[in-house]
Structure 1
Amino acid sequence: MNPLLALSIALRLAGTGYSVALLYRSGDRRFAFLTVMVGLMASRQLWTAQTAGGTGLEELPGLVVSVLAVATVHYLARYVAEESRIKTELEETNDRLRSFRKAVEHAGHAIFLTDTEGTIEYANPAVEDVTGYEPDEVVGTNPRLWKSGEHEEAFYEDLWTTITAGEVWDGEIINRRKNGDLCWVDMTIAPITDADGDVEQFVAVDTDVTDRKERELRIREQKTRLELLNTTNEVIRDVNRELVQADSKAEVEAAACEQFAAADPYESAWIATRNVVNDAVRAQTSTGVDDDTLEAVIAAINDADRETAVDRALETDATQVVAGTDEGGDRYAAVDAAATVAVPLSYRGARYGALVVHASDPGAADAVDVDVLDELGETVAYAINAAESKRLLVTDRVTALTFRLTAGDDPLVALADDLECELALERLSSSGDGDLVAYVTVCETAADDVLEYAAESDGVDDAQAVCDRDDECLFRFVVTGSSIVATLAEHGAVVRSLSADGGEGRLTAELSETADVRSVVEAVSGSHPGASLVGQRERERTAETRGEFRTTLEERFTDRQREAIQRAHFGGFFAWPRESSGEDLAEQMDVSQSTFLQHLRAGQRKVFEEIFDADEATDVDRRRGVAASAD
């Protein structure tokens, strides 16, 4: 057989077997076609080998065809393998893309793609949860669709500049939902670039953080409120400390204003009172605000077409808190107040004005504790009351108020009305339990009738007849009913006289020259509607010095009385236990014990007369005697 022919046949048979193997391995029908084709070619050459002869050079083209057939099978095998690899990779890529799409579609974050102009090309379903718009509604639009207007234009310009430069923008933004509600969004915008780095698209991922943000704001608000409460408590402690050292009404008011004005977020403070003539609001004391500015604020309050917080604080016992414009107009614009607090200064019915505090923080209107400030107002008012009472004891100029009373205004007047008698108040003091004790002279009635009346009365208790004279009797009463005497004493007034004839009484009390007469009269009118002010005058009060008081006593003592008292004092006769007896002191004076005691008792009586006798006691002595009623 011709060698060339044999080689050609062998190649074709090998190609057929190779193609069959590849067909079996890959299952690709193209190898079946090659198998048939190469097999037929091999069959033809086998036929030729059996029927033909010659040199075999004519079989050279067939050999070349056989080589090409085998090469075709080989390269087809490589192509099929590469195609299979690519197909596998495409399938894997498609699987990943499908997984990615599922992830994007089911993501809890709003994800959308835009072109380089910002037009939305794709939006996942979560966009509806974040913006309120369905995906189909936003595709083809611009994210400006949910712009809230809460940010400045510079904010959006910075965002756009960042992403167009190929950088990632990450931050918090406030959007407006389709229903108009505001929502806080944590947004990340990233550019999608090509191989050359040019931006092709933008991808944005939005996370709704409204709940978290509102929680943070609540926590921040609570923290601010706590800090403000702590500041207010510190101010109150400072005010209380300063009040202890204040000696006058002006010092009390100044201390309250200064402590508030010096603490953040408070800016200024002033004391508001009423003008007695026209009932207009006026400033008593101020800190942190100049006179012109304060006058502007007061003018706005007085020109108001309806009641302001300051008006309400002056008329009630409740602290008033308002934001800057809560009253239908910014009445406190002159002091740039974001919040205003008006604390009434009221103590047991007497009103001493209102402490008005302006704050720079609008949150102060919601953060203050009105109950604490109510207590502070009462404390300041008590300090004013105490300062006025203290000043009354040492001042030389006083305001005398005279009231006409009815039986319903005081238990003592009621006693005179029921028993149809006359009475006069001699002395006021207080019992160990703090009850008001009155020493009263009652005329034109039997002592037993008075005691019987007191036993059945709800107004007086524990009546005792101290001294029974011909037509009058001195009684000691514990006054338990609503007494105008107690009301005046609580508000810094000292009762100088009280008399009653039947159902009508008359009372005179004194106030220091700096006292707020209006508040005292209002307290009396509020507690005793039947009482009417019938007289008010200012007068000088002669102050008796300690030396003058001592001289008066010296002039009343006899030599023996003075010696007896001095020996008893220096000899320890009044000490307990006694350091010397009456017998010892009498022997020293060379008199009998009874004579010594007679001189001693006479001298003591004269001392007590100077202190307690209303007819002969000086103003200083009276002040000492009634100080307990003011306390």
Structure 2
Amino acid sequence: MLDRDEAPRRRASGVRAASEALSAAASPQAVADVLVEVVTAIRGIDGAAAFLVDGTAGSLRETASTFDRDDRSLADGIGTIARDAYLDGDPVVCTELNTDSGTAASATIEPLGGYGTLVSVTGGATVDGESRTLLTSLAAVATHRLERIECERGLRRCTRDRQRDSARLARFDDVTDVVFGLERAVTAATCRADIERAVCERLAASEGVAFAWIGHVGPDDERVVPAATAGRERGYLDAVDRTLTSSNSEPAVVAARDREATTVGTVASGRRSASWRREALARDVQSAQAVPLTVDDRFAGVLAVYSADDSAGTDLWRRTLDHVAAVVTHAVGSLDRKRALLSDAVVELELQLVGGDDVFGRIARAAETDLRLDGVTTSNGQLVLFLTTASGGDGSVESTLAGDPAVASVKPVRRDDADCLEVLLREEWLLSHFVEAGAVPQSVEATADGTRVVLTLPTDADVEGFVDSLERRYDQVGLRSRRERTRPVAREQHVWAKLEESLTDRQLETLRTAYLSGYFEWPRESTGEEVAQLLDISQPTFSRHLRTAERKLLSLLFVVEQS
């Protein structure tokens, strides 16, 4: 009795051991190895093979086997029936399996769910019922383990994705905080050096950033000169070549030379061919990005960020640096314009512009007459020009303007001494460019031969860069005169600054438009209704804005007079 019971106990113990071994397998390869080893040990089975689906290729491949690989007939036969059984999804018994030696073999194929098949081979007849039951049980245990491994891998994948998303979100929050702080610091800055220093300090404070710097192109136009830097730069800028040669691939140099943003996602690649990469790696820099700074079509420098990880090469930092560059250039341009308006010391330029596509030159050429700009105001964000013509009142200029695509509307303004026109523009590059560049036009006159402009710039303005920006728009740009002078208008500038401070934009626009429209002339050249229509407001609203602006202006003038 004990002898008859011993065999089932030993088989049960073997099944438990096999199940435990399969449950401990950590990968599909380990499951296949254990499964083939256990099956081969079953009485009557001469060999076994496990075929699993390759997750990358999506095809069934032999993952583990104890068969003689030199027996091509057996190998081909096993491979064929394994694939057929996998596609059908049902157990298969094959009694006519050929070998190279000519002997027959039998095979039993058990499906492993959607993961593959298990093949066991006997030299003669098929396995008995007990062995077949054991094969089915082992296949079920293996299938369960493969499912568990897939779930565990999916869970780990989800965990990694969640961690990556959390890290990305944290980095986005960090970059957002840096940008907000940077915008506040730039707004409070009173000079360009303060702006550039604040930008570098804020960027260098961002997580992962090793250092940041802003460079200017020197007067010799041969190399990038550091203007501001912050972070763990550790002598990098002194160690690298910053000359603007065509072979220099240093990111800031490339951005300055080509006037285009440049990104280096992996500094380590190409380290043998570029010395700057070796210098960067020696300072733990893994990625870098640089963008040109362009103020009013004029190149104003380059901003570069170097990171201790791959963050500087990401799309997030590319968009961030594009935004920061826009903030910097806007702030620098605003300071230039403010300095141009308030500075006593200025550079006065007289320019002759030939060709080009500005409204003044285009209309003067088409109508073959002279034009003079008397004043500029705005209406709903569009420029309104007040022009004096020498056409003799024949309507030729008015009709030419009406047919110009840049002109929204034109109407004559009654004046005794000249023919004047009020022109509402859809666009006008020339005046917008002057204002954005910090230039203050003193006079603009156009003839059929060209446009003569007299303007002032701050004494430290980049005059050559300003003239270069015009040369890209006109066939010829002649600099007739350049002189430095002091404007004896400190008191008037103070009054103007106080007036702008006390008036709202709408009140100032109303006052300026009324003045330029001849509303204050006697007799009036434009009625209140006409000026209100130009401003796209009602007449009572126009009257209220005008009365308020007049009261503030007179109060300011009387206070200045008393002082």
Q: Quick check: 1:451 aligned with 2:393?
A: no
Shift of 1:493: 1.9
User: Gaps spanning 5+ residues in structure 2: where?
Assistant: 29-33, 40-48, 55-60, 68-144, 496-519, 521-549, 558-563
If you compute each CA radius of gyration, which structure gives the higher value, 1 or 2?
1
Deviations 1:222-281 (A, max 9, x none): 332222211111111111111221222222222211111122222221113333533533
Kindly indicate whether the alpha-carbon contact (under 8 Å) linking 1:109 and 1:127 is maintained by their aligned counterparts in 2.
no
Q: How does 1:274-353 map to 2 (within 5 A)?
A: 274-288=217-231, 292-297=235-240, 299=241, 302=244, 305=247, 307-311=249-253, 313-314=255-256, 315-316=258-259, 318=261, 320=263, 322-325=265-268, 329=274, 331=276, 333-334=279-280, 335-346=283-294, 349-353=297-301
Letter in 2 for 1:377: A
Kindly indicate whether the alpha-carbon contact (under 8 Å) linking 1:440 and 1:475 is maintained by their aligned counterparts in 2.
yes
1:251 aligned to which of 191, 194, 208 = 194
Counterpart in the other structure of 2:7: 91
Kindly indicate whether the alpha-carbon contact (under 8 Å) linking 1:272 and 1:354 is maintained by their aligned counterparts in 2.
yes
Q: How many Å separate the matches in 2 of 1:233 and 1:548? A: 39
Q: How many Å separate the matches in 2 of 1:455 and 1:403? A: 28
Kindly indicate whether the alpha-carbon contact (under 8 Å) linking 2:371 and 2:446 is maintained by their aligned counterparts in 1.
yes
Q: How many Å separate the matches in 2 of 1:544 and 1:291? A: 49
Q: Quick check: 1:238 aligned with 2:181?
A: yes
Kindly indicate whether the alpha-carbon contact (under 8 Å) linking 2:211 and 2:233 is maintained by their aligned counterparts in 1.
no
Deviations 1:301-322 (A, max 9, x none): 7467255543554445657453
Shift of 1:482: 3.5
Q: Quick check: 1:415 aligned with 2:363?
A: yes
Q: How does 1:325-404 map to 2 (within 5 A)?
A: 325=268, 329=274, 331=276, 333-334=279-280, 335-346=283-294, 349-366=297-314, 368-404=316-352
Kindly indicate whether the alpha-carbon contact (under 8 Å) linking 1:344 and 1:377 is maintained by their aligned counterparts in 2.
yes
Q: How many Å separate the matches in 1 of 2:239 and 2:480? A: 36
Letter in 2 for 1:256: V
Identity of aligned residues (%): 20
Q: Quick check: 1:134 aligned with 2:134?
A: no
Q: How many Å separate the matches in 2 of 1:538 and 1:401? A: 7
How many positions carry a matched residue from both structures? 394
Kindly indicate whether the alpha-carbon contact (under 8 Å) linking 1:271 and 1:355 is maintained by their aligned counterparts in 2.
yes
1:497 aligned to which of 443, 462, 465 = 443
SS in 2 for 1:337: coil
Q: Quick check: 1:438 aligned with 2:380?
A: no
Deviations 1:195-239 (A, max 9, x none): xxxxxxxxxx99797665555444333332222211111111111
Aligned-pair RMSD on alpha carbons? Answer: 4.3
User: Gaps spanning 5+ residues in structure 1: where?
Assistant: 1-83, 113-119, 138-204, 551-573, 575-603, 612-631
Q: Quick check: 1:406 aligned with 2:354?
A: yes
Q: How many Å separate the matches in 1 of 2:412 and 2:421? A: 6
Q: How does 1:524-535 map to 2 (within 5 A)?
A: 524-526=470-472, 528-532=473-477, 534=479
TM-score by length of 1: 0.53
1:507 aligned to which of 450, 453, 468 = 453
Q: How many Å separate the matches in 2 of 1:313 and 1:124? A: 65
SS in 2 for 1:285: strand
Change (3 A) 1:480 1:401: farther
Shift of 1:107: 5.1
Letter in 1 for 2:437: H
Shift of 1:489: 1.3
Q: How many Å separate the matches in 2 of 1:449 and 1:420? A: 9
Q: How many Å separate the matches in 2 of 1:538 and 1:218? A: 64
SS in 2 for 1:324: coil
Q: How many Å separate the matches in 1 of 2:269 and 2:486? A: 50
Deviations 1:286-310 (A, max 9, x none): 222569432334x157467255543
2:486 aligned to which of 517, 521, 541 = 541
SS in 2 for 1:467: coil
Q: How many Å separate the matches in 2 of 1:378 and 1:241? A: 14
Change (3 A) 1:368 1:457: closer
Change (3 A) 1:538 1:221: farther
Counterpart in the other structure of 1:624: none
Q: How many Å separate the matches in 1 of 2:66 and 2:348? A: 87
Q: How many Å separate the matches in 1 of 2:221 and 2:265? A: 26
TM-score by length of 2: 0.59
Q: How many Å separate the matches in 2 of 1:213 and 1:538? A: 72
Shift of 1:411: 0.9
Counterpart in the other structure of 2:532: none
Kindly indicate whether the alpha-carbon contact (under 8 Å) linking 1:352 and 1:516 is maintained by their aligned counterparts in 2.
no
Letter in 2 for 1:373: L
Q: Quick check: 1:264 aligned with 2:207?
A: yes
SS in 1 for 2:305: strand
Q: How many Å separate the matches in 1 of 2:299 and 2:165? A: 34
Deviations 1:449-502 (A, max 9, x none): 322322222344324335242xx5344433434431222212322222322231
Counterpart in the other structure of 1:62: none
Q: How many Å separate the matches in 1 of 2:469 and 2:294? A: 10
Change (3 A) 1:296 1:533: farther
Deviations 1:508-550 (A, max 9, x none): 3332234344654454344x24352536746132342328999
Deviations 1:336-356 (A, max 9, x none): 322212233345644432321
Counterpart in the other structure of 1:186: none
SS in 2 for 1:226: helix
Q: How many Å separate the matches in 2 of 1:226 and 1:245? A: 29
Change (3 A) 1:287 1:520: farther
